Amino acid sequence: MPFHPPRRALPALLLAGLAAPRVARAQAPWPDRPVRFVIPYPPGGSTDVIGRLVGNALGQELGQPVVIENRGGATATIGSLMVSQSRPDGYTLLLSNIASHAIAATLFRNLPYDPVRDFTHVALLVTTPTILVVNPAFPAHSLADVVRLSQQAPGGLDMASSGTGSSNHLLLVRFAELTGAKLNHVPYRGGGPAMTDVIAGTVPMMSDTLPSALPHLRGGAVRALAVSGPERSPLVPEVPTFREAGIDLINLPWYGLSAPAGLEPGIRDRLASAISKVLAAPALRARLAELGSEPGDMGPADYTRFVGEEAKRWAPVVKASGAQAD
């Protein structure tokens, strides 16, 4: 038989029905205000270039501004820690990367965050090769020249990177191990400041990611000796790979989108969907290609697993380098 509530119960039921829409209306859809996107490096480096490119496109897709905030220092761990301690409401995001979420786990004795557990990993954004560049006045024109000159110099040769324990630093360490080159690592707080000193001749050479170095290469401010990808980059086809020079060395830094742990699955999936659309856009893909970068294709589950695997893969490399940070 159909249920007929008592007449005196009808006002209460009607009030309850009217209250529900008011509760729903009080919960604004995400995002309803600007989103902060933390780049854990200073302005000017490849991380900043890629982060701003993706961040601007993501803001257009979400319908809210994505405000870039550079928080560099300590091999990208300062900005990463700040995000891990932020509210998981979708309004603070991080450009996670190989340094902050793979290398740092071994580099730091007491890393104040767990690269997997303390974040909600959303998507892999891009991968990009590394390139070895020198000041135009530096006499080396090949990797063999670098090895020879470093062995002839009384104290070896100085070589800059974006920071201690960065993938650029570990590339140099591995290069020295494989060739016997005598190199003195000069760490900087990001690729931008390091490049400034290489151009000025303060340091003769550095390892940098291709997107960061490319404008300086095209302007003639630096010269390139080798790229770290499995094959030559179409952007600098005249530059050989390390493997072509007889050095078995491949290095592909990566960048992803992450948020604090505990992010609501609905917001996480909304972000992942937005990133998928952003990376599929022909204009952005063309721009990434101009920078020598490849768009990623990992969603939340795959990227989370990837970050954990990368931390394990880099652990023995960091230990072998002897690099350590507090």
Domain range annotation of the chain: 35-128+253-321, 130-245
Residue 23 has a pLDDT of 42
Residue 167 has a pLDDT of 87
CA distance 320 to 162: 19
The answer for residues whose C-beta is within 8 angstroms of residue 234's C-beta and 6 or more apart is none
**8 A C-beta contact, residue 253 and residue 228:** no
**Cβ-based burial of 261 (10 A; exposed 0-12, middle 13-18, buried ≥19):** middle
Q: What is the pTM of this model?
A: 0.78
**8 A C-beta contact, residue 96 and residue 65:** no
- Over its length of 326 residues, how does the chain's per-residue pLDDT go in tens digits? 444 545 444 444 434 444 444 443 445 699 999 999 999 988 877 778 889 999 999 999 999 999 999 998 888 899 999 999 999 999 999 999 998 999 999 999 899 999 999 999 999 999 999 999 999 999 999 999 999 999 999 999 999 998 877 888 889 988 998 999 999 999 987 788 999 999 999 999 999 989 889 999 999 999 999 999 989 999 999 999 999 999 999 888 999 999 999 999 999 999 999 999 999 999 999 999 988 899 999 999 999 999 999 999 889 888 877 878 76
Token pair recorded at residue 102:
């793979």
Number of other CB atoms surrounding residue 28 within 10 Å? 8
Tokens 């301690």 belong to 85
Same fold, 35-128+253-321 and 130-245: yes
Q: Which amino acid is at 77?
A: T
CA distance 313 to 120: 21
Tokens 């690729």 belong to 191
CA angle 241, 243, 249 (to 5 degrees): 95
The number of residues in the chain equals 326
CA distance 38 to 78: 10
CA distance 140 to 222: 12
The answer for residues whose C-beta is within 8 angstroms of residue 270's C-beta and 6 or more apart is 30, 90
Residue 25 has a pLDDT of 40
Residue 47 has a pLDDT of 78
Residue 4 has a pLDDT of 53
- In Å, what is the CA distance from 194 to each residue of 113, 147, 158, 239? 27, 21, 12, 21
Strands 130-134 and 92-97: unpaired
278 membership: H or E segment, kind and range: helix 265-280
CA angle 22, 28, 30 (to 5 degrees): 155
CATH 3.40.190.150 is held by the domain 35-128+253-321: yes
Q: Which of 116, 72, 128 is nearest to 288 (CA)?
A: 128
Residue 290 has a pLDDT of 86
| DSSP-assigned letters across all residues of 12-31 | HHHHHHHHHHHHHHHSPPSP
For the segment(s) 130-245, the CATH number from 3.30.420.40, 3.40.50.850, 3.20.20.150, 3.40.190.10 is 3.40.190.10
- Cα atoms in the Cβ-side hemisphere of radius 13 Å centred on 284: 24
CA distance 18 to 7: 18
Q: Classify 146 as helix, strand or coil.
A: helix
Number of other CB atoms surrounding residue 284 within 10 Å? 17
Diameter over CA atoms, the chain: 100
CA angle 30, 31, 36 (to 5 degrees): 130
**8 A C-beta contact, residue 94 and residue 286:** no
CA distance 130 to 18: 60
